[in-house]
Amino acid sequence: MSAKIISHTDGIVTLKITGLFTYPDQLVFQNALIDMIPVQKISVLTIFEDFQGWSNDDRWEDISFQEQSDPYIKKMALVGEEKWRELALMSVGAGFRDFPIGYFQPAELDRAKDWLMKD
């Protein structure tokens, strides 16, 4: 699996994605996140490490998870190489969701965490 939740502390769920991200990987993450969100509103930190992109799958267009989870998400920060910025922001629906989404370089991981902690 190329995606896993590596921590859930201080209201921030941290996900690490490595290698090729597949739609089944996304479903596993989404199901785990759904189990967390009824407890409290959260922020999401996604770290792309040794990332190789997204698999080719028609199901990526399914936004039902966004509709279900968005009321429980405060902010989302994506941390990865500059070459993934546009595709990563597009893949999470930046600009179409009701919470802020930021993109940070790997050297800015602490800045991304600080940004998520601020109201």
- Containing structural domain, residue 97: 3-117
- Sheet of 12-21, strand order: 3-9, 12-21, 42-54, 73-79, 101-104
Q: Is the pLDDT of residue 93 over 70?
A: yes
What's the total number of domains in the chain? 1
DSSP 3-state of 87: helix
- pLDDT, tens digit, for every residue of 2-54? 888 888 888 899 999 999 988 888 888 888 887 777 667 889 999 999 999 88
| CA distances, 113 to each of 75, 78, 118 (Å) | 11, 10, 9
| pLDDT for residue 82 | 97
Entry field: residues in the chain: 119
- Give me the CATH number covering residue 70: 3.40.50.10600
Percent of the chain with pLDDT over 70: 92
The pLDDT score that the predictor gives to residue 1 is 54
Mean pLDDT of the chain: 87
- Neighbouring C-beta atoms of residue 33, cutoff 10 Å: 20
The answer to whether the beta carbons of residues 80 and 48 sit under 8 Å apart is: yes
Confidence of residue 60 (pLDDT cuts 50, 70, 90): low
Q: How far is CA 69 from the centre of its chain?
A: 12
